[in-house]
Structure 1
Amino acid sequence: MEGWLIDADYVTENDRAVVRLWCKDDEGVFIVYDRNFTPYFYVIPYEDFDPMRVEVEARNRIITPQSAEVVEKKVFGKVISVYKIYAKHPQDVPKLREEFKKYGDVREADIPFAYRYLIDRDLACMDGIRVEGKVRLERGIRVVEAESVERVRKAGFPELKVLAFDCEMLSEFGMADPEKDPVIIIGVKMGDYEEIIHGEEREIISRFVKVIRELDPDIIVGYNQDGFDWPYLRKRAEKLSVRLAVGRDGSELTFRGGRPKMTGRLNVDLYDIAMRLDVKVKKLENVAEFLGRKVEIADIEAKDIYRKWVSGDKESVFRYSRQDILNTYFIAEELLPMHYELSKMIRVPVDDITRMGRGRQVDWLLLSEAYRLNELAPNPKEVEESYEGAFVLEPKRGLHENVYCLDFASMYPSIMIAYNISPDTYVAGKCEDCFVSPEVGHKFRKKPDGFFKRILLDLIGRRREVKQRMKEVDRESLEYRLLDIKQQTLKVLTNSFYGYTGWSGARWYCRQCAEATTAWGRHFIKKSAEIARSMGFEVLYGDTDSIFVRKDAPPEQLEREVEELIERITRELPVTIEVDEVYRSIFFVEKKRYAGLTSDGRVIVKGLEVRRGDWCELAKEVQREVIEIILRDKDPEKALRFVREVIANIKSGKYDLEKFVIYKGLTKKPSKYESMQAHVKAALKAREFGFVYPVGTKVGYVILEGSGNIGDRAYPLELIEGFDGEFVEIKTKHGTEKRRLDRDYYINNQVIPSVLRILERFGYNELSIKGNTQKTLDAFFG
């Protein structure tokens, strides 16, 4: 049989672990059992000993190895003899590992059994699989007792059935409590199928399980369902004696390491992926909007659900539920394909891929490559060491015109390849034929090619082939989209290598590699700036892997001279450099803070407050508009008039409350903070009414007039019932009361500071923004 490999786990039969592969072909799902694989790990012995005499007592039984053999492995390219220890069961490995540490350096004893199988058998999830063996039916699913299993490389991805769900609970105050607050709705969507399940709670949960069984999805997605929906459903199901039998084999939902697991289905929490997106507020609707897939059909917010439901207006709650489920489903459509490709490249299942950081993803890629090269993987170091980072050239503040931004394409991977930077090429002592890094003086052998260089060359070569293929196919075709996902994934992995070498949890951690890479990077930026100046360019700014240059010359001549500059830099340095952007106008405020208007009319903002989440929306909008006026109109007086108009509108109550909401994230429980910041105090106020913010979420609050400091006057959105432009109606223990919005705070601590950093370059200060002082554009230049 031939199909796609989706997931891998194992079951225990007669005290033996049996690898189980969940696969799919045109007829549907089939399961492969492989009984011909044994768990193992390696030991580099300190001295001679008999591994078969090692034993450990656990739960009234003695655990011993099943067998052992001497094999040859490489450690940083050097061949050594090691013991390969076979265990009777994967659960014996952790206990044997601790005992064997007395006799030697234990390696690769922390790789999960099923994933060890994927590496050794050269299989990959989301890729093809061919299996031979006897077939039988088990609960209506085809089961193959494998005699042989092999990988079949396929283009694209399998056609997977993705089901999105979202729950709504009935809570009078704050966060719903599974001990007492019922589930009132479970929204479900898969393809064209949609259902808003409601009614009596026991029937809701039972119907949800039945829908999953009938639709038989391959992947179930939600938004923060691992931290909220699934644990909540499990608790409610227990209370109502409902079996959450959502596994493909009829098994119930389980939790492993705090994560929900359902047999034969992938459980993907989209919130895990959203945490890596450049979205400051990670609410469902914000992420959907960021991805261009936001749906707005509801006319209520989460805090209105209880009031609408008990008043009989259930239709508005249904619309709210459908909005959430549509946003969840469309986010999945956008985010899952890249993770399918990552799964194929790294081998492990998609649900684990989505929970991994970039460092861990590189780790798994390297484990596969190490096995192929017979290289023994190191153990994670878990060290904390700092080193000097990238070079940043002080910007020439002010407004500049006709500026080229030159980007060093994949600078750090290029450096690692050019200078053979890898843990196995690093030389601590004397070296006859080595590359020596500037500043830090770390040495790396020129030959042979290091472990990292070989992998990076392979990744870059594969990406080059994919991009070439993209030029040959229709940009609107499915093939083009799949190729684009593949090249983006290859780029992500390639650019993660430098950071990986300095990541404390990396198996192949190497501080010297990270230090040398950044040292060469600093050298490249400085050298490129020297070359540019020698050719008559003014270097305005340089940061990490880009420099900004300008020259007084007609456009066509300037374009030619920039091409000559690029040609000379690439001739003298082992890098690829290209024009990233051409700015009609750009202003620099300070390091890593600038805004520019590109030649095609786009405004690009880097590092200024408009991109931060702890400023209110109005402050962001005002700053954005000021930036647009400065760049497009070059009229600071117009920008000043606009800010003064906004201040007047705040005083007259012309803005809705959402313009004043400030969001800031909780990095720990509110009770753990030593300094009671405004968002922490707001969270504590909400807690008095039963609403608990999970760690990692953002607290939305507004500042009201009254006594005390800012924190004392910060009120969370959950306690706000209404706003008339001047007074905010807040919930109290005695009912509701009206408090005036602190408009002076928003003028003096939000709007003015957000624009002052820009307008002060024109000679304005806070007093002049509030008054009538005027300056000219000349104050900005020079």
Structure 2
Amino acid sequence: MSGKLWGMMAGMVEDEWLWGWDATPGIVSVWAEPDGRAFVWRRLPESGELLREDVRFRPWLVLSNLEDLEHLGPRLRPEREGPAPRRVTYQELSGPGALRFLIRAEDGRALASDVLQGASRRLGRPFANLRDLSAETVLSLPPEEQYLTASGRTYFRGLSFEALHRLQFDLETTGLDPGKDRIFLIAMRGPRGDTDVLEAHGDGDAAEADLLRRFVERVRQWDPDVIENHNLHGFDLPFVARRARRLDVPLALGRAGSPGLRHRPSARGSALGRGAERNADSMRRARYTVPGREFIDTLDAVLRHDFSARDLPGHGLKVVARHFGIAGPAREYIPGARVHEVFRTDPERVRRYARDDVAEAEGVARLLGGAAFALARMAPRRYERLADAGPATGVLDPLLVRAYLRSGAAIPAHEGGDGTAHSGAALHLFATGVARRVVKADVASLYPSLMREYRIGPKRDRLGALLSMVDRLVDQRLAAKKRAKAAPAGSTERHENDALSSAMKIIVNSAYGYMGAVGLTRFSDVHAANEVTRRGRAVLALLCRELARRGVTLLEADTDGVYFAVPEDWREEDERRVVAEVAALLPRRVQLEFDGRYAAMLSHEPKNYALQSHDGTLHLKGVAFRSSRAEPFGEAFLRKALRCLLAGDVAGVRDVYVDTVMALRRRRVPTTEVAAHVRLTKDSAQYAAVRERRRELAYEAMLTAGRTSWAAGERVRIYRAVGGRAGLLPEPAQDDVDEDVSAQGDEDPRDYDVEYYVRLLKDTFAARLERGLTPLDFSTVFDDPGQPSLFTPSLADSRPILTVVQAPPEDEPRQESLGG
């Protein structure tokens, strides 16, 4: 066979590993049952017509040996003899992997029962679920993933994101407790963009039950492939389910099977209710699902975006919509706690508010949901599961399992490692304080690039599947980026290729972390990960040395890139030239690119900094400047003070500080602005057990407000009141996670401990600016305005400072620096 033909065949195999091998187009949902029935809904790309296919598949699992099936006797036969009634077949997979017997049967439940019976006999104790067996002895997947893995099918082949029939809905409720509060309005946006607002015609059970029935009927009429909303799994679906159960209303939201919602395990499930009722709620660890439709929570896409970009001021729907320009200028805003009150006096205003909510949910889903849509074209999982999956165990593991089974190869079991620690990524802080004329040079996917350059992959991946996938994804991502750039702005083609590029980037960038996650991923290899880390450190040291040689001031460097300040007389072409010169010295597949230029930067700590663009836009990075727990008044102060500091206006920082202190002391700051948004880590019983030894503000606030029971995981807004008391504020509406709700109206007590928050302002928020000022200037700027001194130094001539804290890496032989 010629080398060219062999290469073509190898490429086809690798594409099958990555994309599957069944070209069936238009799959929009898959539902499978353990008894071997699978239901496949397809939307024809040409006409948009929806079809349903009912097919049979043979449920399967992978075992390390056949010992637990020996009791089947002649019913256990080699796969080559073919299926037969009640027959269980096995296929021995090749290679050294621990999981080496692929077992198939007509019915998955019966197969699981057979294995559990054998394991119980062998180990002398009962087992009720395959999850109770060691992961070293069995691999068992949900029925849908069994079907998709075995068939080589994936979602959405030949479909664009716009071809999906998507529906958004949003609840308006009288409160946040489904045990006592009601749904009084449901806004809906249909697949064609038409909106409808359903309302309860009265205040009793019958009116709410009628509202829920009309909601279910409208879903069935519009027949969407996907149902979306923001915090859908954290609030809307659990609330609907609880109210429907209480009112005995069947929730027939699926396309097949018995009415009602089912649930699936999930790391981020809902936590509704209070006390014992809340603790018992299984939805704390699960999400709802139905046959034939996919539930997509836009909060998942927002969290995924912010994990990498770190550019969002919050994660609530309205905050995100404003950030991305989705919110219209006439958008209606109502504080969440007042929606029902406003509805009683001005229902049309609430209807506008609800319509805006579903329109923004659609916009966020369209803008940020493309990556999960593209991942569903690759990985053998339901679309809704990929939308909230982690890239390692949720995407790479399914891809690798499919690749190994397609190749007839035995699969490694999870291993705990040999005790070798995973060495951390390289990170350098060269200077702290305020720098001007700042440039960022971006290192594109450093670790995956080094894996490719030096062919570093997991030792147990004998097929080389992980490296092959990274290779092909990088090449295909570059092609997708090129197509996106060539497509007209705002076009479907650009959106699809941008989404495809983002999805591929997610997988590529997770490959290094996948290798280092000992015990968590199937092909982990800490030694390979550490070798990548070593080479990464050498590359980073090289580019820092070479940049410093060219006259720049290094500020910070990590595996994402390098920030540096340039001389005052440099122009942009000088900045780009230097980056290009250093890029030429790096390994072939490592790309260093000019990524941006900024007017100024405050370097505080590693990965904690503030950048100001030349147009005045402020970018904050790290928990020192952005934290979901931070009090809003402090963050508002910090943003104003940073603008002054980065502009060189030290006296202006003083003015902002004085204004904030005086606003606190005159109680012009609403209580919501001093409240912290915290997640409880102890339930009521756990706190009661330690309360005598240590009292904590969050839990004391619950008790002071009359809350005697709560569950771990609940989010609350607390503040310190006068006299050391703990205060509790009502939560904002659940679709506004992390929403900054500053209006409390006339009911705001403003009973917070003023001097406590003045100290917090200086000790916590002002401290973020300390590295940008001399000790004398810092003391002067943040001197208590209520205690003026006759000898206060003038700030007229004060300027921010920059302090070098680490020299550039010393010269090393180039071969060693590259890890050769």
TM range (shorter): 0.7 to 0.9
Q: Whole-Å Cα distance in 1 between the matches of residues 501 and 520 of structure 2?
A: 27
Alpha carbons of structure 1 residues 672 and 510: separation in structure 2 relative to 1, 3 Å: farther
Alpha carbons of structure 1 residues 107 and 456: separation in structure 2 relative to 1, 3 Å: farther
Secondary structure, aligned partner of 1:493:
helix
When you count helix as a share of all residues, which structure comes out higher? 2
Q: Whole-Å Cα distance in 2 between the matches of residues 81 and 396 of structure 1?
A: 51
Q: Whole-Å Cα distance in 2 between the matches of residues 48 and 304 of structure 1?
A: 60
Choose which of 73, 78, 84 in structure 2 pairs with 1:53: 73
Q: Is the 8 A contact 2:604 2:771 kept in 1?
A: no
Determine whether 1:699 maps to 2:716. yes
Determine whether 1:6 maps to 2:10. no
Alpha carbons of structure 1 residues 574 and 652: separation in structure 2 relative to 1, 3 Å: same
- Structure 2 residue runs without a partner (length 5+): 1-22, 77-84, 124-133, 202-206, 265-285, 307-311, 734-740, 804-820
Secondary structure, aligned partner of 1:7:
strand
Choose which of 717, 723, 726 in structure 2 pairs with 1:713: 726
Q: Whole-Å Cα distance in 2 between the matches of residues 515 and 65 of structure 1?
A: 49
Shift, 1:54, TM fit: 8.9
Choose which of 446, 451, 454 in structure 2 pairs with 1:419: 454
Shift, 1:600, TM fit: 5.7
Choose which of 256, 263, 271 in structure 1 pairs with 2:263: 256
Q: Whole-Å Cα distance in 1 between the matches of residues 798 and 501 of structure 2?
A: 45
Q: Is the 8 A contact 1:653 1:726 kept in 2?
A: no
Alpha carbons of structure 1 residues 312 and 19: separation in structure 2 relative to 1, 3 Å: same
Show CA shifts across 1:479-538 (max 9, x none): 112111111111111111112223343222222233322232222222332333445544
Q: Which residue of 1 aligns with 2:196?
A: 194
Alpha carbons of structure 1 residues 724 and 621: separation in structure 2 relative to 1, 3 Å: closer
Q: Whole-Å Cα distance in 1 between the matches of residues 353 and 598 of structure 2?
A: 43
Secondary structure, aligned partner of 1:401:
strand
Secondary structure, aligned partner of 2:103:
strand
Determine whether 1:747 maps to 2:747. no
Choose which of 316, 335, 351 in structure 1 pairs with 2:368: 335
Q: Which residue of 2 aligns with 1:61?
A: none
Alpha carbons of structure 1 residues 248 and 540: separation in structure 2 relative to 1, 3 Å: closer
Alpha carbons of structure 1 residues 48 and 261: separation in structure 2 relative to 1, 3 Å: closer
Aligned residue runs from structure 1 range 261-340, under 5 A: 261-278=289-306, 279=312, 281-294=314-327, 297-298=331-332, 300-305=334-339, 307-308=341-342, 314-315=347-348, 317-340=350-373
- Structure 1 residue runs without a partner (length 5+): 57-63, 128-153, 427-447, 731-737
Show CA shifts across 1:238-288 (max 9, x none): 443332222223731232334322221112233344443435754333343
Show CA shifts across 1:654-703 (max 9, x none): 4444433432233454554556543343344456399x6x7555422343
Q: Whole-Å Cα distance in 1 between the matches of residues 315 and 699 of structure 2?
A: 18
Q: Which residue of 1 aligns with 2:275?
A: none
Q: Is the 8 A contact 2:170 2:354 kept in 1?
A: yes
Q: Is the 8 A contact 2:698 2:726 kept in 1?
A: no
Q: Which residue of 1 aligns with 2:230?
A: 223
Q: Which amino acid aligns with 1:283?
A: G
RMSD, aligned α-carbons: 3.8
Q: Whole-Å Cα distance in 2 between the matches of residues 471 and 236 of structure 1?
A: 48
Q: Which residue of 2 aligns with 1:21?
A: 40
Alpha carbons of structure 1 residues 329 and 20: separation in structure 2 relative to 1, 3 Å: same
Percent identity of paired positions between Structure 1 and Structure 2: 22
Q: Whole-Å Cα distance in 2 between the matches of residues 725 and 113 of structure 1?
A: 49
Q: Is the 8 A contact 1:52 1:68 kept in 2?
A: no
Q: Is the 8 A contact 1:597 1:604 kept in 2?
A: yes
Secondary structure, aligned partner of 2:217:
helix
Choose which of 420, 426, 432 in structure 2 pairs with 1:391: 426
Alpha carbons of structure 1 residues 334 and 743: separation in structure 2 relative to 1, 3 Å: same
Q: Is the 8 A contact 2:583 2:591 kept in 1?
A: no
Alpha carbons of structure 1 residues 725 and 541: separation in structure 2 relative to 1, 3 Å: closer
Q: Which residue of 2 aligns with 1:410?
A: 445
Choose which of 146, 149, 153 in structure 2 pairs with 1:119: 149
Q: Whole-Å Cα distance in 2 between the matches of residues 724 and 86 of structure 1?
A: 59
Aligned residue runs from structure 1 range 615-634, under 5 A: 615-632=630-647, 634=648
Q: Which residue of 1 aligns with 2:395?
A: 361
Q: Whole-Å Cα distance in 2 between the matches of residues 65 and 528 of structure 1?
A: 64
Q: Which residue of 2 aligns with 1:133?
A: none
Alpha carbons of structure 1 residues 161 and 84: separation in structure 2 relative to 1, 3 Å: closer
Q: Is the 8 A contact 1:395 1:590 kept in 2?
A: no
Q: Whole-Å Cα distance in 2 between the matches of residues 741 and 726 of structure 1?
A: 14
When you count strand as a share of all residues, which structure comes out higher? 1
Choose which of 93, 108, 113 in structure 2 pairs with 1:90: 108
Q: Whole-Å Cα distance in 2 between the matches of residues 685 and 87 of structure 1?
A: 59
Determine whether 1:467 maps to 2:481. yes
Q: Is the 8 A contact 1:401 1:584 kept in 2?
A: yes
Aligned residue runs from structure 1 range 574-585, under 5 A: 575-585=590-600
Alpha carbons of structure 1 residues 685 and 531: separation in structure 2 relative to 1, 3 Å: same
Shift, 1:644, TM fit: 1.9
Aligned residue runs from structure 1 range 531-550, under 5 A: 531-550=546-565
Alpha carbons of structure 1 residues 582 and 719: separation in structure 2 relative to 1, 3 Å: closer
Alpha carbons of structure 1 residues 293 and 686: separation in structure 2 relative to 1, 3 Å: farther
TM-score by length of 1: 0.79
Shift, 1:752, TM fit: 6.0
TM-score by length of 2: 0.76
Shift, 1:223, TM fit: 3.4
Q: Is the 8 A contact 1:280 1:613 kept in 2?
A: no
Q: Whole-Å Cα distance in 2 between the matches of residues 499 and 187 of structure 1?
A: 41
Shift, 1:413, TM fit: 0.5
Q: Is the 8 A contact 1:617 1:660 kept in 2?
A: yes
Q: Whole-Å Cα distance in 2 between the matches of residues 685 and 289 of structure 1?
A: 36
Shift, 1:28, TM fit: 2.7
Q: Is the 8 A contact 2:460 2:523 kept in 1?
A: no
Q: Is the 8 A contact 1:7 1:349 kept in 2?
A: yes
Secondary structure, aligned partner of 1:496:
helix
Q: Is the 8 A contact 1:126 1:343 kept in 2?
A: yes
Q: Which residue of 1 aligns with 2:87?
A: 66
Q: Whole-Å Cα distance in 2 between the matches of residues 605 and 40 of structure 1?
A: 49
Alpha carbons of structure 1 residues 616 and 252: separation in structure 2 relative to 1, 3 Å: same
Q: Which residue of 2 aligns with 1:437?
A: none
Show CA shifts across 1:351-388 (max 9, x none): 11123122212222222333344333334457898522
Shift, 1:48, TM fit: 13
Show CA shifts across 1:102-156 (max 9, x none): 69997663122332222222211112xxxxxxxxxxxxxxxxxxxxxxxxxx263
Of the structure 1 ranges 756-765 and 460-469, higher mean CA displacement relative to structure 2 is found in 756-765
Aligned length: 699
Q: Which residue of 1 aligns with 2:62?
A: 42
Choose which of 569, 579, 591 in structure 1 pairs with 2:606: 591
Determine whether 1:109 maps to 2:110. no
Q: Whole-Å Cα distance in 2 between the matches of residues 382 and 189 of structure 1?
A: 48
Shift, 1:762, TM fit: 1.9
Q: Which amino acid aligns with 1:414?
A: S
Aligned residue runs from structure 1 range 208-219, under 5 A: 208-219=215-226
Shift, 1:562, TM fit: 0.9
Choose which of 145, 156, 163 in structure 1 pairs with 2:160: 156
Q: Which amino acid aligns with 1:387?
A: H
Q: Which residue of 1 aligns with 2:679?
A: 665
